[in-house]
Amino acid sequence: MPTVYEQILAAREDMTEWLVHFTHGNDDGLTARSVLAKILAEGLLRPGWAPRRTNSGTRNTVFGPRPAVCFSEQPVGALINYVGRRDYAKPYGVFVHKMDAWADGVMPVIYGLNADSEVGDDDPAYVAGQRTLKPSVLSLDEQYRYVSLALHRYGAVPLDWTHEREWRWSSPRGNAINDCFPLAGSGTFSSRGHSDGRVHVFVQHDADVAWFKTHLTAKWNAVRSSSTDEEHISYCDRWFGRLRQKIRVFSLEEASRELAAGNRSVYRLETWLPVHTRVPIV
């Protein structure tokens, strides 16, 4: 007998248990697709500050002293709609199962606070290059989860990112930016449970799968051979074994084509997975 939660999940097309992490081009000239190939070779997501351009310059989106990895909880059909309307979001990235992400420390963001005062450069808590809220409002350890919300901004459009249904991960070791989120799962048990490392990949075009086949193995060999740390080598082997045997690649081009033809099974990963033909990525 399905639980109430399972019944609700099955009946609501807007709900999903899969989190999305988008890849973006970077300052080294890599495209979103190339960044995804790098991620798949390493099996890691690196935290950052999610800077965004504003009229007054570039500002970090992530508050506090801890960088974060950002995820969005949205089904495939909503994802396609989203990337079609936001230049910043690119149609490449990974799906991570929410239960595994939770076990490895991912938390939902906090949208707005009753008092969300940001400290200025005359405040003792101010750190140059960092956006910080008053610790009395939200502890420094939790500020990476904060997202600004202002539904009634005088003379301006609402500041509202709640549609992203965002989740974030930050290293439990504080501001060590080299600490990364393990796509293969941490391999440990905690009070949150155990991560099975359930991950899949989404790309823009059907032809992208063939591109990965010609690039990924060489990239992975370079990552593994450059490491001298036995624990890291063991993780690389565990991750690439999963990449070869279990991970599927989903083309948003195919999903758009199927949705246009009336096939709603591709709208959510929950219903697309059982009918998806697995083509090995490497």
Q: Tell me the pLDDT tens digit for each residue of 252-264.
A: 999 999 999 999 9
CA distance 266 to 272: 5
pTM of the entire structure?
A: 0.94
How far from 3 is each of 6, 8, 9, 10, 77, CA to CA, in Å? 5, 9, 10, 11, 25
pLDDT band at 27 (very low <50, low <70, confident <90, very high): confident
Of 43-52, 67-76, 86-95, 114-123, which one has max mean pLDDT? 67-76
Q: Specify the pLDDT at position 174.
A: 60
Of 44-58, 205-219, 245-259, which one has max mean pLDDT? 245-259
pLDDT over 80 at 182, yes or no: yes
pLDDT band at 155 (very low <50, low <70, confident <90, very high): confident
DSSP one-letter code for 68: B
Please compute the mean of the pLDDT values over residues 230-253 and round it to a whole number. 92
Instruction: Give tens-digit pLDDT for 79-91.
Output: 999 999 987 789 9
> Is 59 in contact with 131 (CB distance < 8 Å)?
yes
> Which one, of 125, 111, 133, 129, lies nearest residue 59 by Cα?
129
pLDDT over 60 at 176, yes or no: no
CA distance 45 to 191: 23
Q: Specify the pLDDT at position 191.
A: 85
Contact residues for 156 (Cβ-Cβ < 8 A; gap 6+)? none
pLDDT over 60 at 122, yes or no: yes
> Which one, of 174, 121, 98, 177, lies nearest residue 143 by Cα?
174
| Number of neighbours of residue 132 by Cβ within 10 angstroms | 18
Please compute the mean of the pLDDT values over residues 103-128 and round it to a whole number. 91
172 or 267, greater pLDDT: 267
SS3 208: helix
> Which one, of 86, 106, 75, 69, lies nearest residue 250 by Cα?
75
Structure tokens at 69: 């990895």
pLDDT over 80 at 198, yes or no: yes
Q: Specify the pLDDT at position 175.
A: 54
